[in-house]
Amino acid sequence: MKKYLFIILAVQLVLFSFSSVVFANTDDVSKEVIKKITSEYNIDLNEWIQFDIADIPEVVKGNFPGINKNIGQRVVRKYYAGGIQEKYHKNGDYKPLFLVHKDLGKAVIGFLHSNDKTSLVEIELSEDEVAPATYADSGDDSLLILKMPVPKAYSELDFSQNTDFKTTVNGSSYFFRGEPFVSSDNLTFIPVRDFSEVFGIKVEYHNDQSIKLMGDNLTVIISPTKSLYDKGVVVYKNGEYTFYNGYDYPEYLYVLVNDLSYLPLRFILETFGMNVEYDNMNKSITIRGNRITNKQNENLFSADQKRLIEAAVAYEGVSQVKVSGNHQAMVTEPVHFDAEITRSGTSETIKAQESTGDQYIASRTCESNKEVIKILPNGTLEYVNLFYLAGQHPYFYLGILELDGINKYKKMDIKKVSESEDLVEYFIKIIDKYDSGFEIKLNKNTNKIMYYKQIGRYYWYQPKELQSFTY
């Protein structure tokens, strides 16, 4: 009973928190705020209805005391779909004033910011809801409207025909070179190159099969998720990195069809703050957003970090590697080993011989939604127990250097320890909840890894020192 009571209370708390975020209580909008906003934008309050949203229980139900329920819900939909909440509600830097015109044809939301500047957002409330929110503080004409039919299911399309896909941009015809489609899990995928050309998103493709999308003060790096390594996606915005794993975004962050890269439409919209409307009657999709000017500084990485990234990409890209070094299990002394690693994009096999004479074969295969792991000790057919902790054999993670992924997606504290004519040595402290880092030596001529040693622990990775590499 206590457990269920706790759940009920938690749900009530979430609902209350949600409602308090969505709607700022009008009691918080002082007369001074109202006066400043209305005077700067010549708003006659006699022609407008101010939101009365103090009745939180009614608001949570979708009722808006003082105005028509449908009108209130329409304002809120525009408020989120148009990116208004994302654009202005940051770090508490706002004091919003919600107003609906008495003819119910439009609404405005005024903001007084902490720097004493104001902004005004106007929302059209016509029945067809095709008009987007407009921003009085932007002062540009960069709004783009892309309309396209609802795509067909992937299974219904013949991609061998390379059919152009007709859309319109601001009323003019535009053809995608790749055809959008709907995946089996009901996600709409769009061709990255075509979509980016319309909205001015700069796209870079890299040898490690990652894609970099660049907008104003925003960089998104996406790596294949169908891989042995948990790479996922990173968003770099305003000097800060945010790392998302596969649980925060669709399982396949991008797919390749006829050598064209496709991204989930929802991911693009949420990341770059665009607005989408689905017209079920006419089976069409309308996307609105501002053309990106790419004003940002693209120097995301230092010269040393770029050198390390290139070394990581080279190491990941080869199919066969030989390594020698020492590993240490949880309760044992370090043991020297020689190992051969054979891998492809979705499988890896490791054969290791320890100085004690023991031999191990570790293999794993990445499938669409899981990873299959087998470890065979001493050539027998008896599997090592793979349950919690019991299966954390050192060779299970031998192929994964902490260099993989971390360098490309998280901040690092890089210190150059030494540099000679042929070698450069770094110590990298990884900035995360673990007090961890690693030492690495690179050949300056080939930029290949010559030495690698972990300092501290990495999730379930076992400490290891790799003293030589051949690849």
For the chain, what is the mean pLDDT? 66
Q: What is the pLDDT of residue 423?
A: 93
Higher model confidence: residue 307 or residue 461?
A: 307
Q: Taking CA 199 as the corner, what is the angle to CA 175 and CA 202, rounded to the nearest 5 degrees? A: 105
Residues 98, 240, single domain; the answer is: no
User: What is the torsion angle, in degrees rounded to the nearest 10, for the CA atoms of residue 258, residue 263, residue 266 and residue 268?
Assistant: -130
Residues 446, 382, single domain; the answer is: yes
Residues 458, 323, single domain; the answer is: yes
| Nearest by Cα to 181 from 165, 203, 169 | 165
Residues 388, 444, single domain; the answer is: yes
Residues 429/413, Cβ–Cβ less than 8 Å: yes
Q: Is the pLDDT of residue 233 over 70?
A: no
5 falls within a domain: no
Q: What is the DSSP string of 343-379?
A: E-SSEEEEEEEETTS-EEEEEEEE-SS-EEEEEEETT
Residues 337, 431, single domain; the answer is: yes
| Total of domains in the chain | 3
Residues 264, 174, single domain; the answer is: yes
Q: What is the pLDDT of residue 422?
A: 92
Residues 88, 162, single domain; the answer is: no
9 falls within a domain: no
448 falls within a domain: yes
Q: What is the CA radius of gyration of the chain?
A: 28
3 falls within a domain: no
Q: What is the pLDDT of residue 137?
A: 40
12 falls within a domain: no
Q: Is the pLDDT of residue 417 over 80?
A: yes
Average pLDDT over residues 75-79: 63
Q: What is the DSSP string of 280-349?
A: TTTTEEEEEEEPP---S----S-HHHHHHHHHHHHHHH-SEEEEEEEE--SSS--EEEEEEEEE-SSEEE
Residues 89, 178, single domain; the answer is: no
Residues 317, 464, single domain; the answer is: yes
Residues 338, 213, single domain; the answer is: no
Confidence class for position 273, pLDDT limits 50, 70, 90: confident
Give the domain extent around 59: 19-135
Indicate which CATH number applies to the domain containing 349: 2.50.20.10
Residues 127, 148, single domain; the answer is: no
User: What is the torsion angle, in degrees rounded to the nearest 10, for the CA atoms of residue 197, residue 201, residue 204 and residue 210?
Assistant: -110
Higher model confidence: residue 192 or residue 253?
A: 192
Indicate which CATH number applies to the domain containing 255: 3.30.457.10
Q: Is the pTM of this model over 0.75?
A: no
Higher model confidence: residue 78 or residue 257?
A: 257
In this predicted model, what pLDDT tens digit does every residue of 108-135 receive, in sequence order? 877 777 667 777 777 777 654 434 444 4
373 falls within a domain: yes
Higher model confidence: residue 384 or residue 327?
A: 327
Q: What is the pLDDT of residue 301?
A: 60
Could you give the C-alpha distances from 257 to 46, 113, 155, 197, 427, in angstroms and in order? Answer: 57, 46, 13, 19, 40
Last residue of a domain, one of 135, 158, 188: 135
Residues 228, 355, single domain; the answer is: no
Could you give the C-alpha distances from 298 to 204, 218, 270, 338, 468, in angstroms and in order? Answer: 12, 9, 21, 41, 35
Q: Which residues of 277-294 are buried (b: 16+ CB within 10 A; e: fewer)?
A: beeeeeeebbbbbbebee
Average pLDDT over residues 58-79: 64
